[in-house]
Structure 1
Amino acid sequence: MATAHDKLRNSLNLNIIKHIFNTLDEGILVVDSNCKVLFYNQTLSKYEGLEPQNVVGKLLFDVFPSLTPEESTLYQVVMTGEPITGRFQRYINYNGRQLQTVNTTIPIIEEGEIVGALEVSRDMSVIIDLTDKVAELQQQKAARPKFPGSNGFRFSFADIIGSNRKIREIIEGLKKVARTSSSVLLYGETGTGKELFAQSIHYESPRKNHAFIAQNCAALPESLLESLLFGTTRGSFTGALDKPGLFEQAHGGTILLDEINSMGFFLQAKILRVLQEGLVRRLGGAEDIPVNVRIIATTNEKPSVLLKAGKLRKDLFYRLSVIYVEIPALRERIEDVEELARYFVAKYNSKFNKSITHIDDRLLKRLQDYRWPGNVRELEHVIEAMMNFADDGRLTMQYLDYLGCSAFKDYLESEYCVRNGIRDDIGLVEKNMIINMLDEYDGNISHAAKAMGLKRQALQYRLKKYNIFLKDQKA
């Protein structure tokens, strides 16, 4: 009797595999050992503008005339039998359109013989264009005349809210660190404000009148991140231009490498060279360029865990962590919740043109009882959401009804709606009361809400919560 595994293996015929390949978001291209195209999926067809029937059966270099054997990952894999992963390519297709992709190419081997290669391509043109624009803006910003004073995007230690003893000790220590040029490694959970601390170090340092450039290392494939950080030299790959990288643009200032553990070991080694020698070399370049840059790096996982998992080079960690700081999670400084909440109320008063002057004590208690897995950023989002609806000078419990789907919303429903195991009973009583009130006011939501002491939006929320549907809703 055939097993499920045997049935699945037998069902995966060539047509089914082709159908699967045609439904993927990535481009799939298969060539034989002579680089003749055997398969070309619909995704490639969409962003290259070529029909599969006009590609299959042709030699790769006839389809892509600007591509040379030295630049072709498919050709290299067919020749060597070695896979190539995460390779950036820029080339001109048959219709003259420039394409920018990140490719992974693997050999197809049968009975020890290389019979072809398969390439998976992700079109990165939009991301690269945006990255180039960001790099250009950062370069323009770095070239602007410097002058003292905040521009609305700069933060200093005075902007860090909280009276928690550990936070104050960190701030006092980093004020001393800011005077030097030592590298800094900041660890903190997502939402704890790592970039705020990094900016504070820079803008209270002798480098404050030079560039502060932040780059998230997890936002781009490694090949693109490498070219962005180190720059390119004309001819280093097809279409490459002479362009300074972020290290050059940050000369004299500070560069923040956010989530540095997202880098592969190859790029981590290049960062280590910058730290040790103060030199960068553009992609394809032969000259070392001296740079005077302070490096601040962040990670949202504990370095001990990253080192054990092999995600962070030990030599890079030791060189980065000349100054090492662990930023406490909000649950570890819960006494700062009230101060932070009042700060965010003032912030959104200004932003939304409101005048909320008071936070209800019961609301503060709920905010202080929560564990805040999203930390300060999550607290800000909760305050912002309530501020959208607050209009009577006070932030009170009623505005919690307007919160959308979130961890805090789930917490409220599980912790404060469940008392002594009677959640279902409470919900049933409230549901029946709403139904009876709507019947009394002939389905008029506004009148029913007023009679219940609720705002119209709060009643509508409960209608949705309890799946109460009205045939003829009235204003």
Structure 2
Amino acid sequence: MLRRYVEQLLNVYNYIDGIMVVDKDGYIEYFESFRPDVNKLKEKNILHKHVTEVYPGLTNETSSVMRVLRTGEPILNEYQTLMTYNGQSIRAINTTMPIKQNNEIIGAVDVSRYLDSPYRRQNITLKERKEIKTSHLYTLDDIITASKSMEIIKERIPMVANTDSSVLIYGETGTGKELVAQSIHTSSKRKNKRFVSQNCAAIPGNLLESILFGTTKGSYTGAENKAGLFEIANGGTLFLDEINSMEIGVQAKILKAIEEKQVCRLGGFDPIKIDVKIVSAANVQPLTCIETGQMREDLFYRLSVVQINIPPLRERLNDLVLLIDYFIENFNEVQGKDIKGVDEEVERIFQGYEWPGNVRELRNIIEGAFNVSASKFIQKKDLPEYLINPIVPKSTRENSYRETTPLLQKGQTLSEALNAYEKALIEDAIENSRTLVDAANQLGITKQSLHYKMGKYNLGK
């Protein structure tokens, strides 16, 4: 809320070493040090903490910030020796000013010039940059959250990581299932072995079988001796994403491989012992998958020894600010920019949005805004059109008609009414999905079943 004042202040001051904005109670809403060689504090570690918690040597009486909040009067160029909670000692000249709205104090801003050796100032580091890794697996620290449900998941990950039990992760598209899967691997005793990931959606069964189990020369035309993913992941972790989209025939063979802890390559006869932790993921409720025939019941019980359910972003909106700051920090590093945050209007839009694409959608929106933003803060004009002017889905527009129309038309049989309703549901799913796989997932049926029903009702896309 108070971040929009930062850009104004940066335009007023030609040179500052640090800036901090607090709310009316002294809790930090924004922080940046332009001299990480002097002040190593990072915003992500101190955001929403009280100023006297971050600088425990200060009290409500000695802190210039707390005095300004109490009196409403600015304090200019005051010398302070600051001791941070992690043991840094900083000498600074601080100017602290109240932030007022309708003559009421809503916060304060504190700008600092650090007093250090002139020799150090000759080699100023304007911004500390992390090394950008070309190969990276997520760890527990990469799960950014302030929500209780996600904190519980973070607590459980180290517990399940060091067992050989299979883990099934359920979450909507974009909630971060692979992030959790990789965190399980990097938290485990297998972390120095391979993490192998395979998305099982839209891959024909025979091809997926050869990918997973490997092939022997001559098993089919052009086949060579080649290890499958179970062999490649031996000693490590195999992550099977969108397991609910896998053909039933392949599911039976995976179940056998897991239970026997061995595989045979296609065309081969010699069993190969494997030691692999299986982590799988589904973007449809697993029990729904069983009811609709998308997943074998025995495979579900084998894969879901431990089940982790990731809540959608709309159910943990208190994570929005943290995630926004995290993505902005990352894109600043990658693109060499210095964007400070999002303005209040964008924050309101984000808070009122349903986030059907979850965290992945948020990340993509922030990345898109970085490409077009010319300000220190992401503004409404930097957002995609669909977020500013949402299109009402066809199914929503027709709801009022359907609610006032009798379910059974005159002269219509029950079977005809059910077929008409099923056809309408399929039409809506296809209309509001990018792919047939998405439409099938929305309906809770297999892609093959969807194709059959589309033929039955003479539908196409």
The alignment's TM-score, normalised by the length of structure 1, stands at 0.53
Runs of 4+ displaced beyond 3 Å: 149-152
Aligned position for 2:278: 295
Q: Distance in 2 between matches of 1:358 and 1:201?
A: 31
User: Which SS does the other structure have where 1:411 is aligned?
Assistant: coil
The residue type equivalent to 1:268 in the other structure is Q
* Runs (5+) with no aligned partner, structure 2: 1-131, 394-461
Aligned position for 2:164: 181
Task: Give the one of 360, 364, 371 matched to 1:388.
Answer: 371
* 1:413 shift after superposition: 9.7
Aligned position for 1:198: 181
The residue type equivalent to 1:355 in the other structure is D
Q: Distance in 1 between matches of 2:157 and 2:280?
A: 14
* 1:359 shift after superposition: 2.1
Larger radius of gyration: 1
The residue type equivalent to 2:267 in the other structure is G
The residue type equivalent to 1:411 in the other structure is P
* 1:156 shift after superposition: 0.5
Q: Distance in 2 between matches of 1:318 and 1:275?
A: 12
Aligned position for 2:382: 399
Q: Distance in 1 between matches of 2:353 and 2:338?
A: 26
Task: Give the one of 223, 236, 245 matched to 1:253.
Answer: 236
* 1:306 shift after superposition: 0.5
User: Which SS does the other structure have where 1:366 is aligned?
Assistant: helix
* 1:412 shift after superposition: 8.7
Q: Distance in 1 between matches of 2:307 and 2:133?
A: 27
Aligned position for 2:254: 271
* 1:239 shift after superposition: 2.1
The residue type equivalent to 2:324 in the other structure is A
User: Which SS does the other structure have where 1:324 is aligned?
Assistant: strand
Aligned position for 1:28: none
Residues 329-372 of structure 1: per-residue CA shift (max 9 Å, x gap): 00010111111111111111112110011321222121111110
Residues 154-207 of structure 1: per-residue CA shift (max 9 Å, x gap): 100100111100000011011211111110000000000100000000011000
Q: Distance in 2 between matches of 1:383 and 1:215?
A: 27
Residues 76-112 of structure 1: per-residue CA shift (max 9 Å, x gap): xxxxxxxxxxxxxxxxxxxxxxxxxxxxxxxxxxxxx
The residue type equivalent to 2:390 in the other structure is Y
What are the within-5 Å matches in structure 2 for residues 136-155 of structure 1?
152-155=135-138
The alignment's TM-score, normalised by the length of structure 2, stands at 0.55
Native 8 Å contact 2:157 2:187 kept in 1: no
Q: Distance in 2 between matches of 1:303 and 1:172?
A: 23
Q: Distance in 1 between matches of 2:392 and 2:169?
A: 35
What are the within-5 Å matches in structure 2 for residues 69-468 of structure 1?
152-400=135-383, 403-404=384-385, 406=386, 408-411=387-390
The residue type equivalent to 1:381 in the other structure is N
Count of residues in Structure 1 that have an aligned counterpart in Structure 2? 262
Residues 36-90 of structure 1: per-residue CA shift (max 9 Å, x gap): xxxxxxxxxxxxxxxxxxxxxxxxxxxxxxxxxxxxxxxxxxxxxxxxxxxxxxx
Q: Distance in 2 between matches of 1:259 and 1:323?
A: 17
Q: Distance in 2 between matches of 1:357 and 1:237?
A: 57
What are the within-5 Å matches in structure 2 for residues 5-44 of structure 1?
none
Q: Distance in 1 between matches of 2:233 and 2:367?
A: 34
Native 8 Å contact 2:205 2:249 kept in 1: no
The residue type equivalent to 2:198 in the other structure is Q
- Seen in structure 2, the aligned counterparts of structure 1 residues 308 and 355 have a Cα distance that, compared at 3 Å, is same
Q: Distance in 1 between matches of 2:134 and 2:165?
A: 26
Native 8 Å contact 1:177 1:201 kept in 2: yes
Residues 205-235 of structure 1: per-residue CA shift (max 9 Å, x gap): 0001111010011142111110011001112
The residue type equivalent to 2:184 in the other structure is I
Q: Distance in 2 between matches of 1:233 and 1:409?
A: 55
Q: Distance in 1 between matches of 2:241 and 2:270?
A: 27
Q: Distance in 2 between matches of 1:253 and 1:323?
A: 18
Aligned position for 2:100: none
* 1:151 shift after superposition: 5.6
Query: RMSD value over aligned CA atoms?
Result: 1.8
Aligned position for 2:417: none
Q: Distance in 2 between matches of 1:285 and 1:304?
A: 35
- Seen in structure 2, the aligned counterparts of structure 1 residues 412 and 312 have a Cα distance that, compared at 3 Å, is closer
Native 8 Å contact 2:204 2:247 kept in 1: no
* 1:299 shift after superposition: 0.5
Q: Distance in 2 between matches of 1:311 and 1:281?
A: 25
Aligned position for 1:133: none
Residues 417-439 of structure 1: per-residue CA shift (max 9 Å, x gap): xxxxxxxxxxxxxxxxxxxxxxx
The residue type equivalent to 1:334 in the other structure is L
